[in-house]
Chain A
Amino acid sequence: MDAGRFDPVMETPAQAARRRFAAHRPAVHGVGALAVLALLGFVESMLAGPSGDPVVRALDAGHTTLAMALVGGTLAALVGAGWGALAVAAGGRLERRLTQAARGLAALPLALLPVLAGGLLGRGVDLLILAVAAAAVPAAALAARATLRARARREYAMAARAAGLTPAMVLWRHTIPTVAGPLLAAVWPVLARALAVESFAGAVGLGAPAPVDTWGTLIGEALAAQAPMGLLAPALLLAAALAALNAVGDGVAAAFPEERP
């Protein structure tokens, strides 16, 4: 038995997940980076008010951009998880149809959807968020279904019934909490996807409308105004945020590894 920091025999899975995440250096750095990107601009804009300098504007836009990505991504994750759960629960032909539909949609360039929406239906934050979420749903559905299928734990459900639990109790008290962690790891890429899609819409000039600044719209403004060097600051911050989200996602995945049978 190691006399180290933890006792593997007594550790709960929640503690194990936290430990594994913390052991994943890039993930921890990623959390820090995201926090900085979100808070720095927020604090700065509260204190100093609006500015014309492109770098300052880029920093200020951080919290808005990340907030939009969070909302859009969460929406996509919920819809996608529901789609995946429905497929796994239904089984048989319905599952195959649902999965094929998701696969077909995921193959398309869905990043064009918010651009289309913005151009045809007018630019608006609500519409943008919906369109961004829609673009990310199919991939989320596929990931959710794969995870739910892999972690189905039929043996547990059968043993629980033998122990007198009703199917409802099994689902609510055991299946859902156990599957929550791996599901989070599976749908996490949705956040980065939402961020990228929203930024693309902004970059072509059809993103969030005027007073709202996101990194994407700042890039679009710089391109349209023939002052393209102004896009370097928001571009850099966007790249940093995407890298950070990806690193955190790797950490979350490491926190919930495959169970050995």
Chain B
Amino acid sequence: MSAPEPLLQAEGLAIHSAAAIIVRDAHIAVRPAEVLAITGADGAGKSLLLRALAGLMPDGVRMEGGVRRPEGRVVLLPQGGPLTPHQTLAAQFAEVTGTKVTGAREAVRWLERLHVSQAARRLELYPHQLSDGVRWRAALALALAAEPKVLLADAPAAGLDPTVRARLLAQLADWARETGAALVLAGHTRDGVAGPADRLLVLENGRLNPPPEAAEPVAAGPAPGGAPVLSVRDLRVTFPLGGGLFGARASTLVAVDGVSFDVAAGETVALLGESGSGKSVLARAILRLLPGATGRVLWLGRDLLSMGEEELRHRRHALQALFPHPRATFDPRHTIGAQVAEALAALAPEVEEDKRRARVAEALADAGLPAAAADRCPAGLTDGEAARAGFARALAPAPRLLVCDEPLATLDATDREELLAHLLHHQRADGLSIVFATEDADAACRIGHRVLVLLAGRVVEEAPAGVLAHDARHPYTRGLLAAAEGGRPALEGDPPPALRVPTGCPARLRCPRARDHCAQEVPHLETVRPGHRVACHYWDAANED
């Protein structure tokens, strides 16, 4: 029995601009009902490769080599899933199907299949009136309504939360397998395109290769015992919302609603959640980098939230942070070395000038950067190097607590593993305590000793990392775990918007187990076993997904 003929085939494909060769000698073949994922770093040429396969090259870029396309449509969905801003959805669907009537019918069919509520009403809207999640679903639906034989999707659902994105990608893969179409997904590893794929290719230095052997992923060692160095008690962070005429009371947004936890020396606590969960706000509030926090944050017995500005500044050398966009945290006009030195001068003024230079070099080396990096400006660093520069600046004053807010967000797989490895090494060597906020359940369970899952500002599950990875009880946690391993989360819809959290359990609109009781009462944390608590009314129901 022979394998079916490939629907899309390219032999010896080369793409070059006037300045450089972008892709050389690429071979691609995609069969019916097959899902191919192409990953690579930003700027590697994945988007141009898809455009070449679709036959829509931009000016100034030339393609060589043959591309064999099938009878039937080849549809390209570019990065960002853009929609024409001045046309309603109905108009754009009508254009693809031919008439208004078929357009509306197909639109409703596809939107409902992608679980967009009130599909018919949304047809009359313009793209800017839709939320990101709905807009992405509309873009996907539009591509599917064209009934392609081959769909080339560039980073589909990128930027959406992991559970939403994983579900949409899984639905796309379902469609391909049902209709016998070929699906090519391109994207960065962080866009999760590898999850639903049958085959994976990596675009690097212009060549398409099968993925390299994955190295053994790093993981935290056993949890250290010991008294907590950081104790967070009933932390609440609110933001005032504008509005209120004539002094009427403005409403407030509660970003973090009464979170408590402890961190021991040498321990990592991971804060796991999607956008709007409050994890970033919580992480920054712990270091008092945001106003509007109440409660207590006890560092070595003293409350950081109630001490004076100067006193806090004197303690900052022990409390350092990593941020999601490391390059943006540096002044573009000065070198890395100068800025690490500046931080050291401000945090540890007792260190003299020459000792300071040595310390800066040491910090750069500890972070995995060559000494020459000290003379570079932020613009000259790659994403991985920028992340390590941020790490060096945090390490220079010899901190005891490191609060990380999504530090891996901009990194590809290799850089991610390296940074995690460095973090864990320092933790083991110096007893560094880490608070690690992330939306990636895999990273959370590997680097964390304990994991707190956050939703709408509250902890909905907390457990040791190993326990969480194997026996998570909250549907939301299980969704995040499924998304992290490229599977299909059992959660519908989008994360609740911060301003309109559902009554009762905030996850109930997405939850496969939701029942009437979930709308009436907010679940409280209940103990599953020592060290494992869940806030769900039905946590002891059998896990059907």
Q: Which residues of A contact B (CB under 8 A)?
A: 8-14, 16, 92-93, 153, 155-156, 158-166, 169, 173-174, 177-178, 259, 261
Contacts and interface: CB of A to CB of B under 8 A. Distances in A.
Nearest to A7: B380
Interface stretch (B7-15, B80-88, B153-161, B319-327): B319-327
B422 interface: no
A13 B320 contact: no
B377 A8 contact: no
Contacts of A166: 313
B356 interface: no
28 contacts: A8-B379, A8-B380, A9-B380, A10-B375, A10-B380, A11-B380, A12-B333, A14-B333, A16-B379, A93-B242, A153-B328, A155-B323, A155-B325, A158-B284, A159-B323, A159-B330, A160-B329, A161-B289, A162-B287, A162-B319, A163-B347, A164-B343, A165-B342, A165-B343, A165-B346, A177-B333, A259-B332, A261-B327
Contact of B330 (A11, A14, A156, A164): A156
B211 to A, nearest CB: 27
Contacts of A159: 321, 323, 329-330, 390
A260 to B, nearest CB: 8
B387 to A, nearest CB: 13
B532 interface: no
A11 B393 CA distance: 21
B332 A13 contact: yes
Contact of B317 (A10, A92, A161, A164): A164
B331 interface: yes
Contacts of A156: 328-331
B27 interface: no
Contacts of A9: 376, 380
A164 B316 contact: yes
B315 to A, nearest CB: 10
Contacts of A158: 284, 289, 323, 329
A158 B390 CA distance: 13
A136 B342 CA distance: 40
Given A155-B325, A159-B323, A159-B390, 17 more contacts: A9-B376, A11-B380, A12-B377, A13-B379, A14-B333, A93-B242, A155-B323, A158-B329, A159-B321, A159-B329, A159-B330, A162-B320, A163-B342, A163-B347, A164-B313, A165-B343, A259-B332
Nearest to B328: A155
A163 B393 contact: yes
A164 B347 contact: yes
A56 B329 CA distance: 56
Contact of A164 (B327, B333, B346): B346
A10 B335 CA distance: 9
A257 to B, nearest CB: 11
A261 B325 contact: yes
A101 B375 CA distance: 46
Contacts of A13: 332-333, 377, 379
Contacts of A155: 323-325, 328-329
A158 B325 CA distance: 12
B343 A163 contact: yes
B173 to A, nearest CB: 30
A20 B331 CA distance: 20
Contacts of B329: 155-156, 158-160
Contacts of B313: 164, 166
Nearest to B335: A12
A141 B121 CA distance: 41
Contacts of A12: 333, 335, 377
B332 to A, nearest CB: 5
Given A158-B323, A162-B287, A10 B328 contact: no
Contacts of B328: 153, 155-156, 259, 261
